[in-house]
Amino acid sequence: MVNLVQENPKTFYADAKFIPYIDNNVDSLYLRPLSNMAEQEIEINKKLNTFVEDSENINLYQVCLVTSIENFQKIIKKSEQAFVEKGIEFPRIYYELNMKFSDKNIEEYSKRIEDIMENTVLNDEKYIVNNKIQQMKLNKLNEQSVYFIGVLSIVSVVFLNIANSYASTNLSFFNREKEIGVLLSNGMYVVDLEKNLLKDMKKNIIKSVFIATLIANALFGSLLTTIPYISIKKYISIFPFMIIFLIVIIIISFSYIIYYFAMKKITNKSIVELIR
């Protein structure tokens, strides 16, 4: 048995500290070989304080048992007897074979093993052969897909915000044409008017960013309470603040440019045209 379990479930695996799962004087465990099987006592002959080679991690709240194929079959056979006694059909067992080869021989050996298993597998058996090259290709494809979806999402958010800013800004100035015309006709200088409009715009931007930050933190904070294995400290360390900051800067810059030119378009009109 790999006698290791995470001390703090809210710590990421890479930073986790591992402690013994059971005491040294315990030499057996009660467990179910499969979720739908009866519980049985499993004897522990040796407790390992290091992970088994190629077992890169253990899932949270999971303990790893290492045994021979013969002993595993005995355990399964014992569970099968319990199924027979109850008159229940025993579930099919799936075996997964992982083998290490040099990269240059992977394709050849993988094909050979598949050919052997196809000709020897029984009707009630199922096999899986993991091909490292195929897995690497799938992983790379998944990474590219995630990257593409991420970029597409960011571009879509920026584009929709710019489009919304353009429409709302122009509509706002269109509805305020008479108001602006009246202010100019009463002796207000164009320069002073533009300064006031830009000042209001900056206030609205700061207010929007502040409210959006509060809402986002409230949502993510409430989400964190539902995830048992992540702490606020870890959340802060993985949150893409720089990306979010760049997106906000891009959106604000475009909004400011759109607002500025929409304002100029109105203030460049004659007073008569504005009031009409």
Alpha helices in the chain (DSSP H): 69-86, 106-120, 132-175, 177-185, 190-224, 232-238, 241-267, 271-275
Burial class (CB in 10 A: 0-12, 13-18, 19+), 234: middle
Q: How far is CA 68 from the centre of its chain?
A: 36
Identify the H or E element spanning 188.
Answer: none
Q: Using an 8 Å Cβ cutoff, are 55 and 64 in contact?
A: yes
Sequence spans of domains, the chain: 1-89, 92-130, 144-275
pLDDT for 273 equals: 78
Which has the closest alpha carbon to 33: 89, 85, 80, 1?
80
Tokens 């207000």 sit at which residue?
Answer: 188
Chunk the chain into consecutive blocks of 10 residues (it has 276) and report each block's average pLDDT, rounded to whole numbers.
77 76 81 70 81 61 74 78 76 66 70 71 59 64 72 80 83 82 83 87 85 78 66 67 81 87 85 76
Q: What is residue 56's predicted lDDT score, i.e. its pLDDT?
A: 54
**How many CB atoms sit inside 10 A of residue 32's CB?**
11
pLDDT at 134: 61
Tokens 């959006």 identify what position?
Answer: 212
Report residue 199 CA to chain centroid gap: 40
- pLDDT the model gives residue 60: 63
